[in-house]
Amino acid sequence: MKIKLIIGLVFCIATTFSFANDVHSIVFEEYLNAFLNGNYQRAVELQNEQLTTAFGVQAMEQSANMIVNQYGKPETTYNTDIMEQDQYKIYIRLMKTTKGYLKFTVTVDQDLQIAGFYAAPAPDPRKKLSYVDKSAFDEQPVQFGNDGWELDGVLTLPVNKESYPIVIIVGGSGPTDMDGTVGPNTPYKDIAEGLASSGIAVLRYNKRTAQHGQKMSGIVNEIENMVDFEYVEDIFSAIAYASNLEKVDNIILAGHSLGGTVVPKIATTSEGVNGIILLAPGIRRLAEISLDQNRYAKDYLGISDKQMEQVESFFSLILNHELPEDYPIQSGITAKYYYELDEYSPLEDLENYDEPVLILQGEEDFQVTMEGDYLPFKEKYGQNDNFTFISFPTLNHLFIKTEEGVFHWTDEYNKPGFVDEEVIVSLSDWIHLHY
């Protein structure tokens, strides 16, 4: 029987939604998916004659291009409301885009044809952040990186300050974008705006896997070291970029999740880095984290005892480096990737590091855990004067509030929220204390 393995430190989560299994909903889903995926011919086939007269294939394509250019590419669903009016069902779907939010209104008639379609920008449905003062900073797009692999990013710069430290955010595993987008949540953006509001600059950027994922997939077998290619080259480029900014006086590397695993080794080899922030860093080997996540979710996923034995045997082979390097684990990841990451160990990499280090952890995090990562980390370095450890009850892997003491899974990342204010205050206070 084939076993579906959970790969540890999963940060980019696919978002799925379901409705009551009625035919109107099925037509709505097919139509909107066709529109969003560029299958305009199929979308038009689902329309009634009256709508098609005004909104044919050409008009639909022009409309889709205008939406993307002006309002951003739709990414994830925020919510969907359903209304009934006479013999029509009206679906109102709010979606997060790369630039904000869009509201799609789709009407399905009694003949199960699309009788109306409308798209319009929508305000951010989430609450206003108390720790963000938009008048205190400016944002500007930037681009840096190796030729052919340039990355888009955003600089969030305090206004009316002669100098400031800058935090470079290094994202977690997978194709993580500059905002750290997961479902409707953008934790890296929250952190950037919160810190900039208190006089601290932030550079955040798309990971190479996010911006050049398709290009990477075509040459994956040619990449000598995937960790270097995915992380290291671009982190050094970000450090070089930040060091040339006029008002920057100190550079702090802030790694989240798998980024927090990689950052310590880089910081210890770069003279341009003046300190480290680790946000839920995995200090165990990736195979250990993956195995523990499978154990944690065993009952939830319906993994039998026999299957669990096979899972444990599989990860044991990875831990002992007994699988061939080219053995496929999942799309784009082989056993070699696990072996390369074994070269990164914050516990060992920071032994001789004397610059300030801040470690933050959500106590309800099921991916990077208190018992497996944070407490062993604190036990080793908690007495060192240059280390600061802070954990937060009720916060998850995104540093967003969640329910305490329950089983957690990736579906909670689809609930909208913000990085908790205590996290922003802790980051800001620590940075101002040291820089």
pLDDT at position 54: 86
pLDDT value of residue 330: 78
Q: State the span(s) of the chain assigned CATH 3.10.450.590.
A: 23-122
| pLDDT (0 to 100) of residue 1 | 34
Q: What is the pLDDT of residue 315?
A: 93
Nearest one of 234, 230, 207 to 219, comparing CA atoms: 230
Give residue-wise pLDDT tens across range 156-208.
999 999 999 999 999 999 889 999 988 778 999 999 999 999 999 999 999 99
Q: What is the pLDDT of residue 6?
A: 52
Say how far apart CA 316 and CA 294 lie, in whole Å: 13
- The pLDDT tens digits of the residues spanning 28-44 come to 999 999 999 999 999 99
pLDDT reading at 115 higher than 80: yes
Q: Which amino acid is located at 353 in the chain? A: Y
Q: What CATH architecture is 134-285+342-434?
A: 3-Layer(aba) Sandwich (3.40)
Share of the chain above pLDDT 90, in %: 74
- Cα–Cα distance measured from residue 370 to residue 351, given in angstroms and rounded to the nearest whole number: 21
Q: Look at 87-91, 211-215, 257-261, 308-312 and tell me which has the smallest mean pLDDT.
A: 211-215
Long-range contacts of 56-64 (CB under 8 A, 24+ apart): 60/35, 63/119, 64/35, 64/36, 64/38, 64/40
Give domain 23-122's CATH number out of 1.10.340.30, 3.10.105.10, 3.30.310.160, 3.10.450.590: 3.10.450.590
Q: Which helix (H) or strand (E) holds 238?
A: helix 233-243
Taking a C-beta distance cutoff of 8 angstroms, is the pair 71, 99 a contact?
Answer: yes
Averaged confidence pLDDT in the chain? 90
- Give the Å distances, CA to CA, from 215 to 81, 113, 263, 327: 38, 39, 25, 21
Lowest mean pLDDT, pick from 309-313, 328-332, 404-408: 328-332
pTM of the model: 0.78
Of the pLDDT bands very low, low, confident and very high (cuts 50, 70, 90), residue 2 is very low
- State yes or no: pLDDT of 425 exceeds 90: yes
Asked if pLDDT for residue 220 goes beyond 90, the answer is no
CA distance 184 to 78: 6
**Percentage of residues in the chain having pLDDT higher than 70:** 95
Return the structure tokens found at 76: 């994830």
Q: What is the pLDDT of residue 20?
A: 41
In angstroms, what CA-CA distances link 248 with 74, 105, 179, 341?
35, 46, 22, 31
Q: Output the six-digit token pair for 287.
A: 């195979």
Residue 314 has pLDDT above 80, yes or no: yes
- pLDDT score of 72: 86
For the chain, where do the domains classified as CATH 3.40.50.1820 start and end? 134-285+342-434
3-state secondary structure of 1: coil
Lowest mean pLDDT among 6-15, 186-195, 277-286: 6-15
In this prediction, residue 15 carries a pLDDT of 28
Q: What is the mean pLDDT of residues 252-279?
A: 96
pLDDT at 332: 73
Alpha carbons 251 and 274: distance in angstroms, whole number? 5
